[in-house]
Amino acid sequence: MGKKIGKYELGATLGSGAFSKVKVGIDSETGQKWAVKIIDKEQLAREHMEEQLKREIAILKSLNHPNIVHLREVMQTANHIYMVLEVVQGGELFDKIVAAKRLDEDTGRRYFHQLIGAVMYCHAQGIAHRDIKPENLLLDANDDLKISDFGLSNLQPTNRAALLQTVCGTPNYVAPEVLREKGYDGFKADVWSCGIVLFVMIAGYLPFDDSNQNALFNKIERGDFRMARHFSEPLKDLIAKMLVVDPAKRLSIEQIIQHPWFAVGYKQAVSSRDQLKPTDDEIAGAIREETAEVETAAPAKAAAQAAAPSAAAGGSNTIDAFDIVARFTGTSLSTIAVQQASSDIPANRRASLMLVQGDVGDVVSAFQTLSCNIKSAPGASEVKGFINCSQGLITFVVVVQATTVPGLSLVEVKRGRGDIMEYRNLIVQLMDTLGPKLKSVPMQTAEDLQ
């Protein structure tokens, strides 16, 4: 049974975040698809995030650039805020980098052209993004880049001497001056983050990374990194001039555009740099009042759905843990117990199963404690993650399935790219981090994880 907000019929969930979820929204008048970001107002209020959301809305409504996700309109009900955004169907730049392991310089340069062009446009509007990273860079159906997620943006004061005081962003991508908490120029911090993105695209790994956060911050503050050996000399020169610890000596956006490596094939997408200045009335009217979500399913369809038998016996949405284990492994729990004592378990196992007292949030929290970068996948029961280790990037997918035992979940961690032994160590650390929440673990021994 579908739901409708305004003229948009809500469909499948595209993704979810800390304060919101995103659903497909179909314009009932035109049939065009949009992405509807649904934000819980109560949760925003609890976390004191209302002003940050207003800032995001005001910023997005003022922007009009081919490489920035377009915000069509914003509505609100008593409980939710609905942001109707352009659908970007090509996935994240991050996923493309992971799939390719790294991009060649020509491909990376094309995306970098689009990134810098969009950032230059934002800066011309007095806006510093402050959270530029591959996960916030989307690709459309034409493989063109789109900047998303302006939740950490802030309007840069007209007086350039006035510095932003908020420390934000993803640690691996933030500039050294941001970490010092003494105020910083958001424009110069964006240049640093763009330099990190450029490095990651063509190297396939982060220039600054460490499992210990204090050690990571020390590396960033010292500018302690090494160029990838396969970088061309012009590329090394550009990155070296962007990742300068002293923001006063860092390249500006205009200087980046003039650099020989960047200049190859560059065509500016938007020539106008006039600053947009929304009026107070425009800002006040940015969010339109709307009635609550209404059901859109036809009565006959609703009746058929009500009469349909439940997928699980007794109408439960949970599945017996033994059945889940059999589904994932093709065997029974008793068989696994026998295998656990065997020395014949393959060394290249790509998945690890464990029973955890908790839900997907508990598992995500444990991975984040280990400095993993985590993002939610559609449906919220599956998440993707990565961590940069000494032998390179490790990627993984986590599937969390509820069992019939209250609060008990079956967790499957599937290895993607990366070193087998470092993946094994990650799983061992995860088990230690979960601590007493870790219950029956069919594949918990060191032999199983090798």
Write the DSSP string, 357-410. ES-HHHHHHHHHHTT-EEEE-TTSSEEEEEEEETTEEEEEEEEEEEBSSTTEEE
Distance, CA of 349 to chain centre: 27
To the query of whether residue 224 is one of the catalytic residues in this protein, the response is no
Cα maximum dimension of the chain: 72
Whether 398 contacts 385, CB under 8 Å: yes
Q: Is 97 exposed, middle or buried (0-12, 13-18, 19+ CB in 10 A)?
A: buried
Sign of CA dihedral 302, 16, 363, 46: negative
Cα–Cα distances (Å) from 213 to 4, 160, 168, 217, in that order, read: 44, 31, 15, 6
Closest by alpha carbon to 163, among 205, 130, 204? 130
Residue with the two structure tokens 């019929």? 9
User: Of 27, 131, 144, 432, which one is the catalytic site residue?
Assistant: 131
What would the two tokens of residue 423 be? 């993946």
Sign of CA dihedral 124, 126, 132, 135: negative
Write the DSSP string, 130-167. ----GGGEEE-TTS-EEE---TT-EEPPSSTTS-B---
Closest by alpha carbon to 38, among 90, 85, 91? 85
Cα separation, 365 vs 380, in Å, equals: 14
Q: Please work out, in degrees rounded to the nearest 5, the angle formed at the alpha carbon of residue 378 by the alpha carbons of 300 and 103.
A: 140
| Beta strands 71-76 and 287-289, pairing class | parallel
What would the two tokens of residue 232 be? 């061309």
| Beta strands 71-76 and 33-40, pairing class | unpaired
Instruction: Count CA atoms closer than 13 A to 387's CA, side-chain side.
Output: 25
Cα separation, 63 vs 274, in Å, equals: 11
Q: Which residues are tagged catalytic?
A: 131
